[in-house]
Structure 1
């Protein structure tokens, strides 16, 4: 008799099979040592489309809304039908006595397994493998400590609620606004509030009116000191004249204080994504893909976590792990072992913080794809920094009085670099330039600036400046905004604040870009997320309850409560259904919306065939003469695991080539970097790949 182990992906199944001795390869599964090990391929089973319930829903009509299934139906995805049949046959096999659920240890992993289990009509008992690392030792320990599947029933309830709530909001709101406004307008439970944040930010920027301000500066003892901001020019000029007349300044303060910057907390997924965007220019999805690949290669722990701490039982192993990581990266500086500061059982829920595994010490680092090298380096650097001593700086503040007005100058000096040493060693850092800066002058002349001393105030000047608007959202700042959305409106004891989860936020951003509501603009390291005309128009006609971050954050909090068994799944779905029903019944079309909805076609390049303008339309990028077409639904890019975005299309049309990072092989699941080269023959686009080695 066998136990059937079901993993989420083939690569994970192979790692598990190797550890438990199931090494004989069969069609769609592995066998051996009393186990059969098979896998899902993402979501094998999905919620049925509306037309499955009634053929009339195949056409989008306002009078058919809302669509609220009484009995939820599921369908097997056409693309994965073969693998589902393999799993179903294995489950029904008389040789299989029980199952082991080995999908990813989280809400979505739970959903993937349970839907397959139920769709196959399986009634056999199953146990849950719950691990945070793909290391052999972690897998062995996980199999030695399997949990009854029933312990995760509440997690499954929450997953089902998330899925059905997204269906109710997405299907009904998308059909509602699309039928009322005569074009496809995609709406989502998390996607639309995220888009609303982007649109609101852009409205604030475009509506911002800069104000002039003035500052008076003087040079005292070779150091430039600046006064407070003055909004009125006449007042500023009057102060300038008084300062000129005074000629001298009195030193009121010369104070140096030491300040400590504590070692940073370890990474959860959102903070890793934010930091990687800031340092490397990676999108949230790229970071997640790199991290997931590193996890499957047994080099880091489970990435889809919202915790920044480790558990008590991990403390004893940290010194050895840290020593191996320092050795691997050639760091020979001080390595304190303040492990307690990264330990907190109360702040670890399903998974602990992301840390490297001991396998990193043996891996051929240079053979990893470039993106994975960078993410792995960040995770290692954060672990070693996290157990370090505080970074200490001495901050000196000088204050002068001239003609009754205060002027200040500041300088900072590192006393102990501490945890920043290892970060700068692994990730690099800005080297301070030796020079004759004001900071250097202050630090070199502290004894000169004795309090009460009167010295000449030279070179008085008035500088004019302008107030600045808020900055455009980047992936870093948008992830932060999503994480903290409506936090001030949530109760203090709320377990979850914000919209989306660490595992889903990257996908939300990518979908907004893919369906044309948002575009990325700027250079690689400082790419901004800008709502398109279509995205702005959607939010303009969207009622408050659909674009409300606070309502969505409240739903996310309730999903967490369902996971904990503290809220009814039925009450949650009823709340969503009632909100959608009211929306359908009460929403009024915005007057003159057809003007608002009319797409603005901006030129995005010159046609390589005839030299006329290429513009973006809903299905692709087309020449005005019709001689050239670059379709968004592109099989070549799908095979690379990429979508043909406006940014990529612009580069291809302009240069005929585009470097792509983090492409993913459909066969092996491995990621790689390449250059896509586009040639055009008779208006038809042909593509090929080039690699750094010339292939």
Structure 2
């Protein structure tokens, strides 16, 4: 008997539909001839709690830390025992096992850890499915591989799970216990990824709070030129008070010049014109889709992930959604026209975009070298009756289809013009853009572009028609939204201060993964560290206090981003995970040494707006008081005992 173990029931049903012959269901499995398909229900197993290693760890104590398992253990999730029993029974009857987890790091771990936990010693094959429609499933069934090829991916996922356990269990216990000493009654959760993400928001909020607006002044002129009118802006020279961005800091020079300008004539002294060709945006990865959907439709990152899962599993309209790739396999190009015609024909908007596509074109999106275990999000080719979907589902599907359709549109061609005028011995600049060929642009926006400059020739004369001085202020950075926070997590190198570290971070590195970023934001909201204010995400007082109390290294993205690099090296290059875990434990010991009740007490009080002495000064005061009293002034109140929680 061949046993196929799918990641979830929807995938098991799709596999069964891809097999020939009749299918029957019985006791947690589907039977199709000599093939049986069963399934996990997400993760059936989880890392065992600390007290599984030593009963003493059930009580939270600082002197237990760090907790470092010598032999790692997994335990069934609360509602998983029934399905585990089904898989155990079927394994005893199987001659071959096929691993059919999702095509990513977590999917590799989820099924393989069950196979190993249940003691299977026979051969294991790997079935990779990214499209649940029957033809795609049948193609995947014809390309089953040896699971040994994916062992590095499994080791990386296993290392990630163990790292998260070590980091989360030890630091959460340390800061929760320290918090009790500081008077905080509750769990203070610290995570390898969630805490640096919270740190991003806390620091952005602090920049906004501490921002002091600075006034600056601009002077514009409306100029009459031989073939029309345009607006130009004064470029004050270094003899005037300027900031580091060349902005004028006092109004008087602009006001004085404005009085002299009306009716003045000048000359166009420099003219630069450049044509630009811009290819269509690539098809979506999940994170890129979450960013665009948040901006266009106000959808949270989790809402977009949930919608994509429904479009993939329930409606079978899109390919595997939890992808970090923005490229498509070259062998999909030959069937792209038929796929898109079937997917787009039932929707007026998509049909209109489809009619403008030129399928003789080939974009840079079709690139096997950029495709790993999974490819960009794309329609499967199943006819999409968008009127029968929820509005948000239809909106997201149109985005996914649009970005693939755009690969069959010509480039956007624009002409950028920069003009410099001399008037009364002062320089004025104007910029304009003209669309020469709209290409793919109409699929993405219907907004009118800024009007181009009129035809210009170097040396021609101009005359000032109107002028004005504008009083402006520098603005603080914008608070994070779902879109900008997901983008920050994707492009974390921008938030790294150390140049050497920044150079080592590739554009593809980031905090979290495509599958976890939305969940990280939701976790921070649920734990009371973040709050939504309209579309913005702001840190709560508790979230700010936690970040202030932690060692800075635990709140910044450098360490976690570099860890993701090391995990990628384990998955892609077969690096030894032992070195990764050893380095993590060394970091962990250093971070635990930074747990300080006084610092946390000060952080919590500051977050509540209370004035307290700095931590070092408070310590000196207590020592001085104790000395004057001739010893201990009393016994410290013992913190209340709490139930174990991670």
- The question of a shared fold, defined as TM-score above 0.5 by the shorter chain, is answered with yes
State whether structure 2 residue 416 is matched by structure 1 residue 395.
yes
1:492-641 equivalences in 2 (<5 Å) = 496-522=508-534, 527-584=535-592, 586-589=593-596, 591=598, 593-598=600-605
Structure 2 residue aligned with 1:219? 222
Using the alignment, how far apart are the partners of 2:507 and 2:96 within structure 1?
A: 35
Structure 2 residue aligned with 1:122? 120
Structure 2 residue aligned with 1:692? none
Of 35-44 and 586-595, deviating more is 586-595
State whether structure 2 residue 196 is matched by structure 1 residue 193.
yes
1:317-466 equivalences in 2 (<5 Å) = 317-325=335-343, 327-328=345-346, 329-331=350-352, 333-337=355-359, 338-359=361-382, 362-421=383-442, 423-424=443-444, 429-432=445-448, 439=451, 442-443=453-454, 446=455, 450-466=457-473
Structure 1 residue aligned with 2:239? none
Structure 2 residue aligned with 1:619? none
Structure 2 residue aligned with 1:69? 69
Please, which of 158, 161, 164 is the counterpart of residue 162 of structure 2?
164
Using the alignment, how far apart are the partners of 2:270 and 2:112 within structure 1?
A: 68
Structure 2 residue aligned with 1:636? none
Structure 1 residue aligned with 2:475? 468
> What is the root-mean-square deviation in Å for CA atoms of aligned residues?
2.4
Does the CA contact (< 8 Å) of 1:496 and 1:556 recur in 2? no
CA change 1:230–1:204 in 2 (3 A) is same
For the residue of structure 1 that corresponds to 2:451, the secondary structure is: helix
Using the alignment, how far apart are the partners of 2:126 and 2:574 within structure 1?
A: 22
Offset at 1:326?
5.2
Offset at 1:256?
4.8
Offset at 1:33?
1.7
Using the alignment, how far apart are the partners of 1:495 and 1:538 within structure 2?
A: 29
Please, which of 316, 332, 342 is the counterpart of residue 334 of structure 2?
316
Using the alignment, how far apart are the partners of 1:505 and 1:401 within structure 2?
A: 52
CA change 1:599–1:295 in 2 (3 A) is farther
Larger RCO: Structure 1 or Structure 2 (Cα < 8 Å, ≥ 6 residues apart)?
2
State whether structure 2 residue 470 is matched by structure 1 residue 486.
no
Using the alignment, how far apart are the partners of 1:403 and 1:388 within structure 2?
A: 48
Does the CA contact (< 8 Å) of 2:363 and 2:407 recur in 1? no
CA change 1:300–1:516 in 2 (3 A) is same
1:99-110 equivalences in 2 (<5 Å) = 99-110=97-108
Of 199-208 and 482-491, deviating more is 482-491
CA change 1:494–1:249 in 2 (3 A) is closer
Query: What TM-score, normalized by structure 1, do the two folds share?
Result: 0.79
For the residue of structure 1 that corresponds to 2:80, the secondary structure is: helix
Structure 2 residue aligned with 1:264? 281
Offset at 1:274?
0.9
Using the alignment, how far apart are the partners of 1:566 and 1:558 within structure 2?
A: 10
Does the CA contact (< 8 Å) of 1:490 and 1:554 recur in 2? no
CA deviations over 1:131-185 (Å, ceiling 9, x no partner)? 2221212211211121112221111111110000000000000001111121411
Using the alignment, how far apart are the partners of 2:33 and 2:257 within structure 1?
A: 87
CA change 1:115–1:22 in 2 (3 A) is farther
Structure 1 residue aligned with 2:627? none
Query: What TM-score, normalized by structure 2, do the two folds share?
Result: 0.84
CA deviations over 1:398-446 (Å, ceiling 9, x no partner)? 433222222233333322211123x25xxxx33439xxxx837x44xx3
Using the alignment, how far apart are the partners of 1:410 and 1:311 within structure 2?
A: 40
User: How many correspondences in the alignment?
Assistant: 577
Using the alignment, how far apart are the partners of 1:298 and 1:596 within structure 2?
A: 50
1:172-191 equivalences in 2 (<5 Å) = 172-182=170-180, 183-191=186-194
Does the CA contact (< 8 Å) of 2:493 and 2:507 recur in 1? no
Structure 2 residue aligned with 1:44? 44
CA change 1:565–1:462 in 2 (3 A) is closer
Please, which of 323, 344, 351 is the counterpart of residue 305 of structure 1?
323
Structure 2 residue aligned with 1:252? 269
Structure 2 residue aligned with 1:679? none
Structure 1 residue aligned with 2:305? 288
Higher strand share: 1
Does the CA contact (< 8 Å) of 2:127 and 2:140 recur in 1? yes
Offset at 1:39?
1.0
CA change 1:176–1:540 in 2 (3 A) is same
Does the CA contact (< 8 Å) of 1:534 and 1:599 recur in 2? no
5+ residue gaps, structure 1, are 603-695
CA deviations over 1:6-62 (Å, ceiling 9, x no partner)? 111111111111221462111211112211111111111111111222222222111
Does the CA contact (< 8 Å) of 2:178 and 2:597 recur in 1? no
Does the CA contact (< 8 Å) of 2:541 and 2:608 recur in 1? no
Offset at 1:548?
2.8
Structure 1 residue aligned with 2:242? none
Using the alignment, how far apart are the partners of 1:71 and 1:395 within structure 2?
A: 64
1:55-66 equivalences in 2 (<5 Å) = 55-66=55-66
Using the alignment, how far apart are the partners of 2:483 and 2:71 within structure 1?
A: 41
Does the CA contact (< 8 Å) of 1:165 and 1:576 recur in 2? yes
CA change 1:102–1:450 in 2 (3 A) is closer
Using the alignment, how far apart are the partners of 2:458 and 2:158 within structure 1?
A: 68
Structure 2 residue aligned with 1:8? 7
CA change 1:593–1:149 in 2 (3 A) is closer
CA deviations over 1:210-233 (Å, ceiling 9, x no partner)? 111111122222533222342222
Structure 2 residue aligned with 1:668? none
Using the alignment, how far apart are the partners of 2:596 and 2:68 within structure 1?
A: 23
Using the alignment, how far apart are the partners of 2:401 and 2:440 within structure 1?
A: 13
Does the CA contact (< 8 Å) of 2:175 and 2:595 recur in 1? no
5+ residue gaps, structure 2, are 181-185, 236-246, 610-646
CA deviations over 1:234-267 (Å, ceiling 9, x no partner)? 33233334435x7333333565543322211111
Does the CA contact (< 8 Å) of 1:211 and 1:466 recur in 2? yes
For the residue of structure 1 that corresponds to 2:335, the secondary structure is: helix
